[in-house]
Chain A
Amino acid sequence: MKSGFTTMLRLLTALLFTLTIAGVSEAAPGDAAPSGRVAKPVLEAGKGDKCVEDTQFMRRNHMKLLMHQRDDTVHQGVRTKQHSLKGCIECHASSRNNSVIGSNENFCQGCHAYAGVTLDCFDCHTSKPGTAPPAASPHGQPLASASSTLDVKPVSKP
């Protein structure tokens, strides 16, 4: 019957509304780990005394910095350290696994897993700082020892 259907619809809507309010009110700011919800990320502090920019700025804008810097680096060869991904990793790699990904305690993965934003970078970029020894070749041929590419020995070039 039409009126019965409408009543049911109204009840359902009210129920959904109530549940939504209840759910939203759960997430009060400052809660450490509300029961039944995802725990907020606990990140290891980076090396050094402070980041190249302040925390709130970085939270909002690190993606814009990275996207702009990467075009400058790839297309113009601008390799300044301040906003480079390599620079970030050098300070923020975890002391446990020397990486910015690998578990939800790692710097990049922690927040990205919490926010549900896919991390595309580390398909190509290494998540570890410095010159880790080269990975063994999957085809069984040993590589010569790695020379550090961070040692700048200018060669007089013609």
Chain B
Amino acid sequence: MSEKPSGGTQLSRRNFLGMSAAALAGIAIAPGVTLYDLAHGKPPGQATSGRVRWGMLIDTNQCSSGCSDCVTACNTENRLSGGTLATDSQWIRKLELKNTRTGKAHSLPMMCQHCENPPCVDVCPTGASFKRADGIVLVDRHTCIGCRYCIMACPYGVRFFVHEPVTGQNPEVPRGKGCVESCTFCVQRVDRDLEPACAEACTAAGHKAILFGDLNNPDSEIAKRIATYASRQVREDLALNTGVRYQGI
């Protein structure tokens, strides 16, 4: 039994060593949340936390009309068919806008906005559509009954129903007939400290239109950028507080 040091006087060597050893053991035994959070990574066995909120910033000034690198990357990563029929899933699509009064044109990618108050999560009867602790909105296909109410509820038209049997899935991205799906921010990559395929492809090609990062971390590049330059959310009037923000519109 170590003696408690009396009010404010120096520690004995034994006490100091004991307390250091306890602290080190604590750091080693504990889930490692503190250490890993500092490095912004997450070991595979650890649950996500609300400390992080993943978001995206899209600079539409860098986004050109003819380019669809983000779409190709998403289709490759998630093994989507790439088809554009009304029954196909387009987790990300390029949207061409033109202001009808001024004539100014914009091009931007549109994907699940990962809202903070997602209408799709509100309306799902089984809770299959849910928001993860780190802000990513996902569909739990084990619980989805395929009622499509979430597709009715989504104001952005970014949720899709799988209309036919699927084969050749990515082992980390299960998807199948009869369930609803949408952009997952490449959650299988995010959980391994990578960025979504669209962001990576856009950066690799040098367009720099898509920036992915932690909105809750004031030192992240995305947080600094949105604090400096004006950006907006699509359909801000709905107060959904989306995780995806756009510059230049």
Chain A residues packing against B (C-beta within 8 Å) = 70-72, 74-81, 86, 89, 123-126, 128-132, 134-135, 137-139, 141, 143-147, 149, 152-155, 157-158
Contact = CB atoms under 8 A, between A and B. Distances in A.
9 contacts: A70-B142, A74-B138, A76-B133, A77-B132, A123-B166, A124-B169, A143-B76, A152-B192, A158-B219
Interface stretch (B14-22, B170-178, B227-235): B170-178
B5 interface: no
Interface residues of B, number: 59
A138 B191 CA distance: 30
Given A75-B130, A77-B187, A124-B179, A149 B170 contact: yes
A158 B81 contact: no
A75 to B, nearest CB: 7
The DSSP consensus for interface residues of chain B is loop
A98 to B, nearest CB: 12
Given A137-B82, A139-B85, A158-B214, A123 B178 contact: yes
B190 to A, nearest CB: 8
Given A75-B130, A124-B174, A126-B174, A155 B168 contact: no
Nearest to B211: A158
A97 B116 CA distance: 44
Contacts of B62: none
A125 B171 contact: yes
The DSSP consensus for interface residues of chain A is loop
Contacts of B166: 123-124
Contacts of B187: 77
Interface stretch (B40-48, B102-110, B117-125, B152-160): B40-48
A75 B177 contact: no
A143 B72 CA distance: 8
B44 A126 contact: no
B170 A126 contact: yes
Interface of B: 40-42, 44-48, 72-73, 75-77, 79, 81-85, 88, 130, 132-134, 138, 140-142, 165-172, 174-179, 187-189, 191-195, 200, 212-214, 217, 219-222
Contacts, number: 126
Given A74-B138, A143-B75, A158-B219, 15 more contacts: A70-B142, A71-B142, A77-B42, A80-B44, A86-B171, A123-B177, A126-B168, A129-B171, A131-B170, A135-B168, A139-B82, A141-B81, A143-B76, A153-B194, A157-B213
A138 B89 CA distance: 13
B44 A134 contact: no
B31 to A, nearest CB: 11
A78 B44 contact: yes
Nearest to B194: A155
B166 to A, nearest CB: 7
B171 A134 contact: no
A105 B141 CA distance: 28
A67 to B, nearest CB: 8
A105 to B, nearest CB: 20
B49 to A, nearest CB: 9
A139 B140 contact: no
